[in-house]
Chain A
Amino acid sequence: MSDLAPSSGLSHLSRAGAAAMFAGEGVALREEPGLCAMLLFDKSEDSKFRRRVARTFGAEPPTTPNTVAVGASAIAWIAPGQWLVIGGDPVADGLDVSDAYCAISVKGRRAADLLSKSVPVDLDVKAFAALCCARTVLGSIPIFLMARDESDFLLLVERGLAYAAWAWLVDGASPRAR
């Protein structure tokens, strides 16, 4: 067992995971520490790979760009022949990038409104329904964004920029920015 204690990009706010509620604004932010993230690559387009992924994660990797398939883990299409697996445990087939990111959930009635202040993608439920995903930006910060449902978004931000993204979201949710 490790004698090194893990920390996240937001640990200085709270060891257990940062959280912020904006009841009046209809938004809650919560860090999801320790969430596993893995990259899968396959350029062969053969069925062997698809079957193997389905066996391991309980869902075939989606072929429609910017969509997510959900089994034991969520498998998000991020580029041709490239998927980001979120949740579950690391497996040998994948390249573990869990530590490269910080996961933040943005939930609530006005979650899409808050994000739309600085995310250029159309987050209206008609355009970005549950299980849609995108690599985009939050202001000037690169992010991966996924809709779990119309009022629940999961945002992955590079660990080094996690605090900047968090502070940006908190600032955007504050009444002074209304």
Chain B
Amino acid sequence: MSGAFRLPGGGRVDRSRPLRFRMDGRDYDGLAGDTLASALLANGVRVVGRSFKLHRPRGIMSAGLEEANALVGVGDGARSDANLKATEIELFEGLEAHSVNAWPNAGRDAWSALGLLKPFLPAGFYHKTFMRPSWRTYERAIRRAAGLGHAPRGRDPDTYEKQFAHADVLVIGGGLGGLVAALSASAGGAQVIVVDDQSELGGSLLGHSASIGGGDGLAWLQGIEAALRSRPNVRLLTRTTATGIYDHDFVLACERLAGGGARQRLWKIRARKIISASGAFERPLVFPDNDRPGVMLAGAARTYVERYAVAPGRSAVVVTNNDSAYHAAFALRAAGLAVAAIADLRASPPRHALDAARRHDIEVLKATAPLKVSGRRGVKSVTLAGVDETGRLGATVGALECDLLCVSGGWSPALHLFAHAGGAMRFDLQRGAIVPREAPQPIACVGAARGTFSLAASIAEAYAAGAHAASATGHPSNDVFNAPEIDEWPQVAAAPIVEVRAAGSRGANSWVDLQNDVTAADVRLAARENYQSVEHLKRYTTLGMAVDQGKTSNVNAIAIMAATTDRTMDAVGTTRFRPPYTPTTLGAFAGRETGERYRPLRRLPAHEAHAELGAAVEDYGGWLRPAFYPKPGESESQAVQREVKMTRGAVGLFDGSPLGKIEVCGQDAAEFLNRIYVNNMLTLGVGKARYGLMLDEYGIVKDDGVLSRLGPEQFLVGTTSSGASSIAFWLEEWHQGEWPALRLTIAPVTAQWAVMTLTGPRARDLLRAFATTIDLSAAACPHMSAREGMFAGVAARIQRVSFTGELSFEVSVPARYGEALWREMMRRGRDLGITPYGVEALMVMRIEKGYLHVGSDTDGTTMPQDVGFAEAIAKKKADFVGKRSTMLPVGRDARRQFVGLEGVDGGGPLPIGAHVVDPSDVRRSHGWVTSTCFSPTLGRPVALGLVENGRARTGETVALASMHGRHPARIAGPCAFDPEGARLNV
């Protein structure tokens, strides 16, 4: 047996597959096909949660993802999920769930005494009641008492997958409208994807049976499903929730998997046409005590009976302002439940409804509504009173005993996805609902999602929408559709009553948003305090926030606000729905892009060789590069100091492969580069290399590098490692956008070449150990030369440039030879004392030399005149990018200039980022330290910085202020070591 409230027959549950599960520490039985909610109801569990703010006992109020009450946590440890809705959890063997906002459990909650404080906790209470001495005094305790479940602390052990898909037509919703739309959409061969969040297709027909074509509606629809399954151009995805529509018709849908592989799959769908057949949500009515466990949406009660074969109670009273709840009443009666009465808010319900009720032997009380509901832990009785057409309650009619109160306040189209697509909406009085208008993206709503509640009209509308989408995407068909006969009630508008209340009542016990404990009185309070826009109302009262995003409360709140402020619904507006439609696991968005895969880093051609040397590898601008090569027992700083000393003393080997390389070739290449760089590139001779500084349009230093002219029309442009790809785009932009007439090509070739830099006084000696066609003597290949030829048997480029101040050769070979060349250089350099050095030692050496590092020593305000290029600008007649900006007044006055800084009291490195201040007036910053190191060469700390008018202040003593105190320092020229360049020009 799967619970005392399980009906003896019917339903779509599998009675041959019993399942055991636990809720709040108690074992229960359920059936395959149950949700956690239906299984709990089958076992007679009434209180499943506590409200967010006041810890009031709450029961299951819906049968779908609009559920506001039945929030549970599932699982434990790293696999736990917080705040799932019991109504959307498919039951499985061994499921363990617990209520989220109660202690020790939902039935006996120690926090429930908070309910007594309700008068002190109105909307916005944290701005009022708890302001003395300050909100912080209370914040911790309040946050503990309020709230939802807890996020798991451990690392998520599950995997998540992603899948791109492309469709001519995407249909959201696999119910009547969705499948009929898919039928016509796919008839002409269009690629069609249908997504539906349930475990089986059928939509509302799964729980609300209807007669279509003289037979069972669901069976009729399953015939269409079978036809769709036979079409290879149709993909039907169940358990897949469309969570958001984004720009360019991009739709995210999350599929729940159960197959031992990934847990969820995030579908990233590009659709040319979108049809939303997402259905409608039933609205509750707002009346006193409407949050009692046992108060349930009428349609949900019917779904529990018809789909899950569960009686949500023994004896029901139905309260409604429209026809749909009559069908729910009939379904309950047919399943053997007692239906004490239908209380219809309307004074004259339509004839067809009254006749049908009489046939089912159910009494209809006209112009009647609930005045009071008794039963704290479950409905015991409802007191009914007369009600007028404005919702004002009158004389008491009497009390009816019942344990289930079914309510229906009409139906609201699920417009969330339509809103994501930018759709506009309006309130339709006739349909009593907010309905879609038009959207900028190609999305069409059909059926209940459009406010069309007639089955026959839905089918016609859906078929037409599908056919239209097929034609619009170039796949028309001549299929003829025989619309089925449907015998259904004519559509009658719901009574425009959202709330019923007695004269003088503010609605303090009438709940609008059950999840956030917002009452009708709170909405009125917001109106009084002038939070009258729907967006203000939401933020002031928290209405419509949290897990259900107000799916059952938004429209009612807008209606109450409209009535209170004497405006129309449209004037109050609708809240802007944003993705996701319903809470979605973050893991699904992360997919497999976690850990190392989150941001793949580039490996050097000689990566393996570096690893064998024990290199400490770090991320430098997206490349995994050796930071240093520690010997056993060496610290980072010891290793770096050794590498610098050995390089300056003999020869060091550095892997410079990531340095950006762009080939710029063509008749106008020189002219083009001359317009890009501050430096004159027209006068650069073939075989020569020249430093180049690049600015943006605002005259700000953008990048730098060495340019080599390999031929009259062939330049190799060097960029910083991090600028390798962006500078190629930058050059393309200027070429294509500004100077398309210049004849040249731009090709980034960074990855094509492995660059091994030999640095140090013995560098040339080591190169001589290799066979080469290039004359590398000082006379034939002086500093700033660029040569091409054969080296070690391969076509190579050798540039004599230096970022260390030592004799230096950058040997470039095709990347495939990079690893072998590194190993050969290490092998042949052993006798010369070769030392591999990493990025950190390189940085020390360039700081000693005062070489600028764009990005470290410059920022978004640094101009060329700040870093020593005033003369170059003045000398260059031709225009170049950013030149004009350098001449503006802002480019001239009291600028921070690039200087060296020396410590004057010994000690360790000067603190990076420390502010340069006047020792006698430390309140104003004159600049800061941009690069710093301890120089093993000089035996003292050296640093670089940007200091106001720094170049004119050489020799001045300043203080460096940092979190670690104040250091005396002296302003100096940038170059601290070998300023004459004697070591370079050998």
Task: Report which A residues bind B (CB closer than 8 A).
Answer: 1-9, 11-12, 39, 41, 43, 95-101, 116-122, 124, 126-127, 139-141, 158-165, 167-168, 171-172, 175-178
Closest to B233 in A: A126
Closest to B600 in A: A164
Is B600 touching A168 in the complex (CB atoms < 8 A)?
Answer: yes
Contact residue among B262, B593, B819 (Cβ-Cβ distance under 8 Å from A139): B593
- List 11 interface pairs A-B (beta carbons < 8 Å), by A numbering: A43-B745, A97-B749, A99-B753, A159-B751, A160-B602, A161-B602, A168-B592, A172-B161, A176-B159, A177-B159, A178-B161
| One of B163-171, B273-281, B644-652 contacting the partner | B163-171
Contact residue among A124, A126, A177 (Cβ-Cβ distance under 8 Å from B161): A177
Is B605 touching A161 in the complex (CB atoms < 8 A)?
Answer: no
| One of B350-358, B362-370, B542-550, B809-817 contacting the partner | B809-817
Closest to A113 in B: B163
Is A116 touching B165 in the complex (CB atoms < 8 A)?
Answer: yes
Closest to A124 in B: B166
Which residues of B sit under 8 angstroms from A140, Cβ to Cβ?
Answer: 593, 599-600
Residues 257-276 (chain B) with a chain A CB within 8 angstroms? 259-262, 268, 270
Which residues of A sit under 8 angstroms from B261, Cβ to Cβ?
Answer: 175-178
Interface residue B792 (Cβ < 8 Å from any Cβ of A) = yes
Residues 143-168 (chain B) with a chain A CB within 8 angstroms? 159, 161-166
Is B752 touching A3 in the complex (CB atoms < 8 A)?
Answer: no
B437 → chain A closest CB, angstroms? 31
- Given that A96-B752, A98-B814, A168-B600 are known contacts, is A2 also in contact with B743, CB under 8 Å in the complex? no
Which residues of A sit under 8 angstroms from B127, Cβ to Cβ?
Answer: none
Interface residue B608 (Cβ < 8 Å from any Cβ of A) = yes
Interface residue B623 (Cβ < 8 Å from any Cβ of A) = yes
Is B815 touching A99 in the complex (CB atoms < 8 A)?
Answer: yes
Max chain A CB contacts within 10 Å: which of B259, B792, B816? B816
- Given that A98-B814, A139-B597, A160-B751 are known contacts, is A12 also in contact with B608, CB under 8 Å in the complex? yes
Closest 6 pairs (CB-CB, A-B): A160-B602, A164-B600, A2-B793, A178-B261, A4-B820, A99-B815
Contact residue among B162, B597, B813 (Cβ-Cβ distance under 8 Å from A117): B162
Is B817 touching A2 in the complex (CB atoms < 8 A)?
Answer: yes
Question: How many Å lie between the Cα of A161 and that of B751 in the bound state?
Answer: 10
Task: Count contacts on B: residues with CB < 8 A to the other chain.
Answer: 51
- What would 7 more interface pairs be, CB under 8 Å, given A11-B608, A97-B749? A5-B817, A7-B819, A116-B163, A118-B164, A139-B600, A171-B597, A178-B161
Is B161 touching A4 in the complex (CB atoms < 8 A)?
Answer: no
Digitize B652-668: 1 where CB-to-A-CB distance is under 8 Å, 0 elsewhere. 00000010000100000
A27 → chain B closest CB, angstroms? 15
B708 → chain A closest CB, angstroms? 16
Question: How many Å lie between the Cα of A95 and that of B749 in the bound state?
Answer: 9
Question: How many Å lie between the Cα of A96 and that of B794 in the bound state?
Answer: 14
Which residues of B sit under 8 angstroms from A117, Cβ to Cβ?
Answer: 161-164
Question: How many Å lie between the Cα of A94 and that of B447 in the bound state?
Answer: 60
Task: Report which B residues bind A (CB closer than 8 A).
Answer: 159, 161-166, 191, 259-262, 268, 270, 592-593, 597, 599-605, 607-608, 623, 658, 663, 743, 745, 747, 749-754, 792-794, 813-821, 824
Which residues of A sit under 8 angstroms from B814, Cβ to Cβ?
Answer: 96, 98-99
- Given that A97-B752, A160-B602, A177-B592 are known contacts, is A6 also in contact with B793, CB under 8 Å in the complex? no
Question: How many Å lie between the Cα of A11 and that of B604 in the bound state?
Answer: 12
- Given that A139-B593, A163-B603 are known contacts, is A2 also in contact with B164, CB under 8 Å in the complex? no
Question: How many Å lie between the Cα of A96 and that of B191 in the bound state?
Answer: 41
Which residues of B sit under 8 angstroms from A119, Cβ to Cβ?
Answer: 164
Contact residue among A2, A39, A172, A176 (Cβ-Cβ distance under 8 Å from B792): A2
Is B597 touching A4 in the complex (CB atoms < 8 A)?
Answer: no
B246 → chain A closest CB, angstroms? 13
Which residues of A sit under 8 angstroms from B751, Cβ to Cβ?
Answer: 97, 99-101, 158-160
Which residues of A sit under 8 angstroms from B162, Cβ to Cβ?
Answer: 117-118
Which residues of A sit under 8 angstroms from B191, Cβ to Cβ?
Answer: 124, 126
Which residues of B sit under 8 angstroms from A176, Cβ to Cβ?
Answer: 159, 261-262
Which residues of A sit under 8 angstroms from B608, Cβ to Cβ?
Answer: 11-12
Is A8 touching B600 in the complex (CB atoms < 8 A)?
Answer: no
- Given that A39-B747, A99-B752, A161-B600 are known contacts, is A7 also in contact with B605, CB under 8 Å in the complex? yes
Is A172 touching B592 in the complex (CB atoms < 8 A)?
Answer: yes
B255 → chain A closest CB, angstroms? 12
Contact residue among B159, B604, B743, B749 (Cβ-Cβ distance under 8 Å from A160): B604
Question: How many Å lie between the Cα of A162 and that of B751 in the bound state?
Answer: 11
- Given that A99-B753, A141-B600, A178-B261 are known contacts, is A4 also in contact with B792, CB under 8 Å in the complex? yes
